[in-house]
Amino acid sequence: MAEIRAGITANLASIEASWNLDDYWTSMSTPPFIAVVGAVINFDTSMGRGSDEMNWIVLACVPAASDQASQTLLETLIDPTSATSFKTLLESDPSLGGAVSWARVISAGRPNLYTPAGQPESLGVEFTVGVMT
């Protein structure tokens, strides 16, 4: 699992420098940040122990205090045609550095407000990344 987290953040490493990338969502995540939250796992999806299917949740948050600028920054990730979109960057290496058989971005949720422990309120979007091991 740690290799998959690292693969996700490695694929996103070329994102605009203002984003903080974290393998885990912690109380120290400071907006704007992208953090790998965790996965829902379907075990044994083919031939017994042949493979597992995972849906990873990756959270992108921006400061809620800066309304338009923050929403614009968030939208650069959501736009699937942008060269700096979450989908484009994540799928630049579908094997996540050899950690999985394939990975692809399945969805981006609608913006919601999040309050990480000890941090001010943030506007965020959850991306779902489908992974097959």
CATH number at residue 94: 3.30.980
Alpha carbon 98 to its chain's center? 18
Q: What is the DSSP string of 18-53?
A: TSEEESS--TT--SSEEEEEEEEEEEEEETTTTEEE
Parallel, antiparallel or unpaired: strands 33-46 and 20-22? parallel
- Average pLDDT across each block of 10 residues of the chain; the chain has 133 residues. List them in order: 95 88 85 93 72 91 84 90 90 96 95 84 94 89
In this prediction, residue 107 carries a pLDDT of: 96
Per the structure, the complete domain to which residue 108 belongs is given by 2-132
In this prediction, residue 69 carries a pLDDT of: 86
pTM of the model: 0.90
In this prediction, residue 52 carries a pLDDT of: 80
What is the number of structural domains in the chain?
A: 1
In this prediction, residue 45 carries a pLDDT of: 67
